[in-house]
Each structure stands twice: as structure tokens, then as C-alpha cells.
């Protein structure tokens, strides 16, 4: 490769690493927090086995509220909370707070749909064999919806990669930040193109791995 880089290669690596850190950590948080939310949404729904319209409505509104707020607004609006949680409003860790908070309800809704699609006959069979509520969640809902949940999580990760680019606005770094700082503000087309290529590769890779995993789960 005889390409002369306009900025040190380190910059790219650092940006990639920052993006991976932001997406990875906030994705993990969204997964861990989103699944219980999704379960709550499903089991408290009118047809669910813990039907509780009130709780369902409260969680539903909360989830909708966060989903309705554009990420860029959330990013700014959450600054006080971010400060409280990580002590600063600047940097990778500061970006993770709004990223996780916006990705969680997004993923929760997707996972909710996945859980809802679990055949009612399976839930019934589980009840008939003497499964308690928690058993049904653990042995029926989660494993049966897993392929679909993983598919949804892949979508969430891709969405996070794109949101994380915006987090450059709070000086979080990452690929998006690099593209804006050099590519846009300094008219460095090379940086712009390279970052876009890296993002495409990243997204493709995430999607590929996600799809592969889903296929493996389904084809067992």
C-alpha cells in the first residue's frame, strides 16, 4: 500500500477503538437492561401472564418517551445525569451514558416484539407441565426468542454505531468525530473516505456476525 496518510495512522486506530468502546459498552448495557424491560412489557400486557395494565402503561410510556427524543437532544439533555454518573460530560465514557440510555428502549421494543412472537402454544405447554412464571421466562420466552432477539440486537448495534458518530459533539472521539473534524471542517477528503470505508466495514462485520449467529441458532 503506497498511500500517504494525511494524518497519522494512530488517529484512525484511536478513533476506531473509541467507537468500539462506545458501541460495545453502551450495547452491552442496552442488552442487559433492555431484556428485562422487554420481558416486563410482554408479561404485563393484557394477555400476558402477569397482566398489569398500569405497570405496562408506565413502562411503555417511559420507553416511548426516550425513543421519541432524538439522540442529539438526549445527548445534551442528559449532560447533568452524565456528570453525575461519570464525573465529566466529555469523552468516551460520557458519551456512553446517553448512548446506552437511547439504545435501551430502542432494543427493548425490538426484543419485546421478538418475545411476543413466541408461539402461545409453547407458553401453554409450559404451564401445563407445571412451569412457574420465572421458569416460563427462562426456559420458553428467552431461548425461543433468542434468534430473533439477536437479530434485533444486531440492528441496535448498527444504530449505535451511527449514533456514536454524533457523540463527537460532546468530544467523545470515535470515527464520526474524526470524519467531522478532519473531513468536514478541514476538507480532508482522504480522512472522510477512509472513515466511511471503516464504518462500512464495521457495520458489515457486525451485521454479518449477527446474521451468522442467528442462522446457527435457527439451524440447530
Partner 1 sequence: MSYSLALRRDTLSKFSEFEKREPIQTKTETGDLLFNSSPKTVTKGINIVSFKSVIKLYPLATGDFYALKGIDLDIPTGSIFGIIGRSGAGKSSLLRTINRLEKPSSGQVFVGGIDIGGLNEVDLVKLRRRIGMIFQHFNLLSAKTVFENVALPLQVAGVPKADIQQRVSELLALVGLQDKHHTFPKRLSGGQKQRVGIARALATNPEILLCDEATSALDPETTQSILQLLRDINRQLGITIILITHEMSVIREIADQVVVLEQGEVAECGLVWKIFGNPQHEATKALLAPLQHHLPDDLQDRLQTTPPISGPYQQILQLSYNGENQLEPDLLRISQYFQGSSLLHGGVDRIQGHAHGRLLLAVDSNIALPDFKQLTQGNQAIAHHIEVLGYVAGTFHSR
The contact pattern for partner 1, residues 110-129, with x = CB under 8 A and - = no contact, is ---------x-xx-xxxxxx
The string over 194-207, giving b where at least 16 C-beta atoms fall within 10 Å of a residue's C-beta and e elsewhere, is bbeebbeebeeebe
Q: Which of 11, 67, 83, 139 binds partner 1 (CB under 8 A)?
A: 139
Q: How far is the CB of 107 from partner 1 (least distance, A)?
A: 20
68 binds partner 1 (CB under 8 A): no
Question: Which of 99/136 has CB closer to partner 1?
Answer: 136
C-alpha cell of 220?
Answer: 440447530
143 binds partner 1 (CB under 8 A): yes
146 binds partner 1 (CB under 8 A): yes
73, 71, 98: which is closest to 84 by C-alpha? 98
105, 109, 85: which is closest to 95 by C-alpha? 85
158 touches 206 (CB < 8 A): yes
3-class SS of residue 172? coil
C-alpha cell of 44?
Answer: 404485563
156 touches 114 (CB < 8 A): no
Q: How far is the CB of 30 from partner 1 (least distance, A)?
A: 23
Q: Which of 132, 186, 212, 215 binds partner 1 (CB under 8 A)?
A: 132
Question: Which of 79/217 has CB closer to partner 1?
Answer: 217
Q: How many chain residues interact with partner 1 (CB under 8 A)? A: 20
Residues that bind partner 1 (CB under 8 A): 119, 121-122, 124-132, 135, 139-140, 143-144, 146, 217, 220
Amino acid at each position: 500500500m503506497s498511500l500517504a496518510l494525511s494524518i497519522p495512522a494512530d488517529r484512525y486506530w484511536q478513533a476506531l477503538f473509541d467507537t468500539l468502546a462506545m458501541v460495545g459498552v453502551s450495547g452491552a448495557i442496552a442488552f442487559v437492561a433492555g431484556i428485562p424491560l422487554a420481558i416486563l412489557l410482554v408479561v404485563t400486557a393484557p394477555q400476558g401472564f402477569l397482566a398489569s395494565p398500569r405497570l405496562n402503561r408506565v413502562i411503555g410510556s417511559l420507553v416511548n418517551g426516550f425513543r421519541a427524543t432524538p439522540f442529539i437532544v438526549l445527548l445534551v439533555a442528559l449532560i447533568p445525569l452524565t456528570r453525575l454518573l461519570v464525573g465529566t460530560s466529555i469523552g468516551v465514557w460520557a458519551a456512553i451514558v446517553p448512548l446506552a440510555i437511547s439504545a435501551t428502549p430502542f432494543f427493548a421494543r425490538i426484543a419485546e416484539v421478538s418475545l411476543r412472537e413466541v408461539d402461545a402454544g409453547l407458553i401453554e405447554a409450559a404451564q401445563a407441565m407445571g412451569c412457574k412464571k420465572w421458569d416460563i421466562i427462562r426456559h420458553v420466552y428467552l431461548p425461543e426468542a433468542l434468534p430473533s432477539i439477536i437479530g434485533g440486537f444486531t440492528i441496535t448495534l448498527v444504530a449505535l454505531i451511527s449514533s456514536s458518530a454524533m457523540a463527537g459533539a460532546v468530544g467523545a472521539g470515535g470515527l464520526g468525530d474524526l470524519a467531522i473534524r478532519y473531513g468536514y471542517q478541514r476538507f480532508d477528503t482522504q480522512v472522510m473516505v477512509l472513515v466511511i470505508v471503516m464504518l462500512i466495514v464495521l457495520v458489515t462485520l457486525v451485521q454479518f456476525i449477527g446474521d451468522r449467529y442467528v442462522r446457527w441458532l435457527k439451524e440447530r
